Amino acid sequence: MNQYSIKYSINITSYTFTNSLNQLQLIMKVSLESQQDQGCSALESGNTTVTNSEYVKLQVDDHSLYGRFIKRGIIDGRISTITNQLLPNYNNNGESNQFNNIQSYIGIGIRSYRRLVQLDPDFSVLVDQRPASNSQNESTCSSSKTKKKLSGAQIAGIVIGSVAFIAIIVVSVVYHIYKKKKAIQFNKQVENKLKNMN
């Protein structure tokens, strides 16, 4: 068992199936909550390339609950394949993910059985180096957390853009004054020539 793992077993006793081709879906709610007044939460799921197993990761700030989907269970004393499915639209109570609380539902598909199903889910609590606000997936943040600081490149872009804008304004004003001065000189020359002609 890995360090920081949360280990528990699920035993389901006999269930009456109407047909031996039917399946039972066990729905598990997985949630992670923080007592902080501000923060971010994110949900991630997919396949790992190393172990080729499916996972779900719930993250609130820098704490994560990582669940690896199990592919086998003991059904009526024999090791059998089971299916897992993330249920993004399953929500009985109208709950929604918050900046300090995130949940997900997992459906575990179990083929028909007679006596007993034994499942052994695998969850770990991790501390992430990257907070949920920097998650590659969409994160939900409190309003004070969404005010991010500007990066150095963004600040440099703003400064360069501002300097260029001011330079354009200065050049435009100088050019306008120059043209106006030339127009006044031209008008004086024309007036002088007209006076000399009279």
How much is the pTM? 0.58
Domain count, the chain: 2
91 shares its domain with 167: no
Expressed as residue numbers, the domain containing 80 is 5-141
pLDDT in tens, 72-88: 999 999 999 999 888 87
Q: How crowded is residue 27: how many other Cβ atoms within 10 Å of its Cβ?
A: 12
103 shares its domain with 132: yes
57 shares its domain with 133: yes
* Residues 159, 161, 166: CA angle, nearest 5 degrees: 95
167 shares its domain with 69: no
183 shares its domain with 102: no
What's the CA gap between 155 and 180, in Å, rounded?
A: 37
DSSP state at residue 27:
E
Flag the least confident range among 19-28, 59-68, 165-174: 59-68
Q: Is 45 exposed, middle or buried (0-12, 13-18, 19+ CB in 10 A)?
A: middle
Mean pLDDT of the chain: 79
For 89, 102, 159, 161, 172, the CA distances from 96, given in Å and listed in that order, are: 11, 8, 41, 41, 55
167 shares its domain with 113: no
User: In DSSP terms, which residues pair with 41 in a beta bridge?
Assistant: 60, 140
